[in-house]
Amino acid sequence: MTTTTTTAPASSRVALPRRTSPARWFSDLGWRHLVGVLAVVYAGFPLVYVVSASLADGGTLTGSNELFASVSTANYVALGDTRFWTWMGNTLVVAVVTGAGTVLMGAAAAYAFSRFRFSGRRVGLTALLIIQMFPQMLAFVAIFLLCISLGDVVPVLGLDSKLALICVYLGGALGVNTFLMYGFFNTVPREIDEAAKIDGASHAQIYWTIVLRLTAPILAVVGLLSFIATFGEFIIARVLLQSEESWTLAVGLYGWVSSLLDANWGLFTAGAVLSALPVLALFLFLQKYIVGGLTAGSVKG
């Protein structure tokens, strides 16, 4: 009588999961969670502190050392007796017009650099990038003197004019924005342009009806970045805008805390919380475009 032993094939064997020691798990993956938690706490604590200060009864930051020790909406109600909402309206007008103008100007320049071949094309791109390395705030004295001179000829472009401030912001709209859009425009195949030309489309029709729709992610990203930068800009706005009725939020909020003896941090923090809502809302609305627009525009040239 013979007995036969059968061996299960290797493919049918079940591999038991190996137990990972806590030290091995922390060295491979756990430290990343720790760094992430520390980053969230580091970034979130100032926000929580500002919200707590805006809800405190007093007008000082020292009273908010104990977070949410008192909760009151008095600071938010008091904003109605100030020019806060006028400043909010001025800021939204300036930021929206500047963002739209930046998108239109940058897209037109990027389309020209991407689709046409002309003398000085690469030199122009390099020059735009180099000029943009020097921020506008370095020239605020020249801008101030220029607006004084323009105000004598065209008052609407002089000091204390929101239109003059918008024109100054749009003066720096090209540069990095054009270079970023140029990289994204290069990802749109030229065959689409050629097919549209065969169908009888002009350059303007190709630009407005085809290219701009295909490059919507980068347009959204540039518009968002321009809106955020303009919304919180302080130096040039403080130099050009003279009267309180024309101030933007950055200038107006600074005026509440510029004096150490009369600083009202309660109003300042309440205004800061409310002024963050438009930026947050726009960011959430354009969130689906942000990652695609930044990555595609940065890796293709």
Q: How many angstroms separate the Cα of 7 from the Cα of each of 15, 16, 17?
A: 16, 18, 22
Largest CA distance in the chain: 119
Classify 27 as helix, strand or coil.
Answer: helix
- pLDDT for the residue 159: 87
Q: Which residue has the tokens 């020019």?
A: 83
What is the residue type of 82? T
- pLDDT for the residue 10: 52
- Please list the alpha-helical segments (H only) found in the chain: 22-25, 31-54, 74-78, 84-115, 121-132, 140-153, 162-171, 176-185, 190-198, 203-206, 212-214, 216-231, 235-240, 249-257, 265-285, 287-299
CB count, 10 Å around CB of 178? 27
Report the distance separating Cα 101 and Cα 90, nearest Å.
16
- pLDDT for the residue 297: 45
What's the residue count for the chain? 301
- pLDDT for the residue 7: 55
Domain 83-299 sits in which CATH superfamily?
MetI-like (1.10.3720.10)
For residue 2 the two structure tokens come to 């013979």
- pLDDT for the residue 301: 44
Report the distance separating Cα 69 and Cα 51, nearest Å.
12
Q: Do 217 and 190 touch, CB atoms closer than 8 A?
A: no
Q: Do 224 and 282 touch, CB atoms closer than 8 A?
A: yes
Could you list the mean pLDDT of each consecutive 10-residue stretch along the chain, which spans 301 residues? 52 58 74 87 88 78 67 86 92 94 90 84 82 79 89 86 90 78 85 86 86 87 90 91 90 85 82 92 83 51 44
Report the distance separating Cα 266 and Cα 77, nearest Å.
11
Report the distance separating Cα 185 and Cα 110, nearest Å.
7
Q: Which regions of the chain carry the CATH code 1.10.3720.10?
A: 83-299
Q: Do 241 and 251 touch, CB atoms closer than 8 A?
A: yes
CA-based nearest residue to 188, from 172, 212, 219, 165? 212
The distance from CA 163 to its chain's CA centroid, rounded to whole angstroms, is 22
Backbone phi, psi, residue 247, to 5°: -65, 155
- pLDDT for the residue 54: 85
- pLDDT for the residue 27: 75
Report the distance separating Cα 111 and Cα 182, nearest Å.
7
First to last CA, the chain: 79
